[in-house]
Structure 1
Amino acid sequence: MDPNGLSPYIRVALDNELIPGWLIKERVLFDYELLYIKEGAARITVMDEVYHGKPGDIFLFKPKQRHSILNRGAVPVRQPHIHFDLYYQPDSPDVKVSFKPLNEIAPHEMSWFREDLCSAPPFELPTYIRLHNPLAFEKMLLDLIHDYNLGLPYGQLYAKGAFIRLWTHLLREHQWNQNSHLHSHWLQLTKVKHYLNHRLDADLSVEQLAEMANLSSYYFIHLFKQAFGVSPIRYHLMARIEKAKEWIQFTDIPLTEIGERVGFGSIHAFSRAFKKIEGVPPSFYRSKKK
């Protein structure tokens, strides 16, 4: 499933409290529920596994996943939460929130069960996530809930955008949870990335960049690629070619000079690198300008 086509439908968005002794009996959902523990503590059982949820915890209940929620404490549990479809479907407005176990689901309701897309690539999110930065997530979630319940025009459209920001934050947090070494070196990696974006006129080496990050060359390349999807040298080359493409399209600067401005010693080296990234020679974009 392509995350770039994400088109969520928000079904319910609430910020409420569970009083002491409150119990949501075991049930299955047709859709997803994203529940955040803001205050208090809850005993949450998912597929017979027991969690003791505390402030900063997130639970992602998935379609057909058995779960129950109990406040066994002496204070209310504040639990902002949303029910949603990850991708809008024609029947999305008609599907209800379930409070029933699977054996009580009526035959006509069986078609309401959504496919669990969160457990497979590209998301691969677990049921329980402990956040590094709960305050940022909390603010985004509460803003979404607040606007959704105002009932303003285009509320569902706003909710889609707010959800995508929230979802992206959650995916990043999960990636950092899975790759703590990446999170611990994040400042070094972003420092190098910033440097690459501002040194488009130079041909840089891995050794220089690794030294800047205070890492071995091998480990630096591994972390950079894991963080940004490409090697540092390829990232730099792509940034240089992108800047060159701008100058080719929007100025009359000769191609040879543009190549020099982005760190290439000859028009031949510039053309080879440009074609490697864009699949066409630099002159292609100059001709498109006319």
Structure 2
Amino acid sequence: MDLNRLSPYIRVAWDSTIYPPVHIPERVLFDYELLYIKEGECEVIVDGIAYKGIPGDLFLFKPNQPHSIRTMNDRPLRQPHLHFDLYYQDDSPEVPISFKPYSRLNERERQWIRPNDLRDMTPPLPSHIRLNKPEAIEQLMMDIIFEFDSKFPYYETTAKGLFIQLWMHLLREIHWQRSPHLHSNREQLDRVKNYLSHHLHEEATLEELAGLANMSKYYLCRLFKKAYGITPIQYHLSVRLEKAKEMIRFTDLSLTRIAEELGFQSIHAFSRAFRTREGVSPSAYRKTS
């Protein structure tokens, strides 16, 4: 999926409670659904695989994916849930919620089935996610539901922004779960990242960062790149150059002074790094800003 184009359409946002015994027979959806278990327990069968849902669990149902839900005991099942398209389409406002198996859909209803934009994700997003820290996702879901219930001005746009935050939380949660060595060292990685973000005035060395994280510099580099996509030194250079762009655009400081304040050894080293990243020299960037 292309996250740069992400423009969700939220069709339904409900905080519903069902009282046992309840069995929602197998059905397929036209759209996506996120179902969060806030209270109670249930059995959810997705594509023939049974999962036990407990408080803090999240289920992701994809378009045309067979699934059923059954309460497991005599406790009410509270299940905040959202139906949505990941990308707005011209017919998004017209498409209803499906409660039927595929075999009972008519031709028009089958045309409402959205493409599964998550199909090409590697590895694929799971149908059942046992959240390590459910509080953030639960709060965002409840905030979205509140917007739909209150219908304040611009509630749909507000809900869309909240959903994008929720989706990013979910992708990060799955990323951390698939890399347990990252999760166990997350505090150290955050410490290094925050240090680099707040020390723009000097160059950093792997030796001092490794000491800060209490691990070898080779292990730190590997973990940091796995977590953030770049090495610590590359990240530090990136945030320093972003600060340089801001100073070039919004101050009258000379380029030499900017290079000095951001810890570059010389104006030549600064210019070379800036041109490599931005494709233009600092002076050319100032002229066009």
TM-score (norm 1): 0.94
Deviation at 1:155, TM superposition (A): 2.4
Q: Which residue of the partner structure matches residue 269 of structure 2? A: 269
Alignment of 1:147-166 (within 5 A): 147-166=147-166
Q: Write the letter of the residue equivalent to 1:11.
A: R
| Contact kept? 1:7, 1:160, Cα under 8 Å | yes
Q: Which residue of the partner structure matches residue 44 of structure 2? A: 44
The CA distance in 2 between the partners of 1:253 and 1:164, in whole Å, is: 38
Deviation at 1:265, TM superposition (A): 2.4
Alignment of 1:88-103 (within 5 A): 88-103=88-103
Deviation at 1:27, TM superposition (A): 0.6
- Residues 62-106 of structure 1: CA deviation (Å, up to 9, x unaligned): 111111101131111111111111111111111111111111110
Q: Which residue of the partner structure matches residue 142 of structure 2? A: 142
Deviation at 1:243, TM superposition (A): 2.2
Going from structure 1 to structure 2, the CA distance change for 1:68 and 1:148 (only over 3 Å counts) comes to same
| Contact kept? 2:42, 2:72, Cα under 8 Å | yes
| 3-state SS, counterpart of residue 33 of structure 1 | strand
Unaligned runs of 5+ in 1: none
Q: Which residue of the partner structure matches residue 170 of structure 2? A: 170
Q: Which deviates more from structure 2 when the two are superposed, residues 158-167 or residues 39-48?
A: 158-167
TM-score (norm 2): 0.94
The CA distance in 2 between the partners of 1:29 and 1:3, in whole Å, is: 23
The CA distance in 1 between the partners of 2:58 and 2:140, in whole Å, is: 14
- Residues 31-90 of structure 1: CA deviation (Å, up to 9, x unaligned): 111101111110111111111111111111111111110113111111111111111111
The CA distance in 2 between the partners of 1:260 and 1:154, in whole Å, is: 46
What's the RMSD between the two structures over aligned residues?
A: 1.7
| Contact kept? 2:207, 2:217, Cα under 8 Å | yes
When the two structures are aligned, how many residues end up with a matched partner?
A: 289
Deviation at 1:122, TM superposition (A): 7.3
- Residues 95-123 of structure 1: CA deviation (Å, up to 9, x unaligned): 11111111111011111011112243278
Unaligned runs of 5+ in 2: none
The CA distance in 2 between the partners of 1:47 and 1:288, in whole Å, is: 55
| Contact kept? 1:3, 1:122, Cα under 8 Å | no
The CA distance in 2 between the partners of 1:137 and 1:251, in whole Å, is: 40
- Residues 214-255 of structure 1: CA deviation (Å, up to 9, x unaligned): 112221111111222211111111222222233333333232
| Contact kept? 1:10, 1:160, Cα under 8 Å | yes
Deviation at 1:192, TM superposition (A): 1.1
**2:243 equivalent to 1:243:** yes
Q: Which residue of the partner structure matches residue 280 of structure 2? A: 280
| Contact kept? 1:16, 1:78, Cα under 8 Å | yes
Alignment of 1:194-233 (within 5 A): 194-233=194-233
Q: Write the letter of the residue equivalent to 1:142.
A: M
Q: Write the letter of the residue equivalent to 2:184.
A: S
Deviation at 1:175, TM superposition (A): 1.0
Q: Write the letter of the residue equivalent to 2:260.
A: E
| Contact kept? 2:147, 2:156, Cα under 8 Å | no
| 3-state SS, counterpart of residue 58 of structure 1 | strand
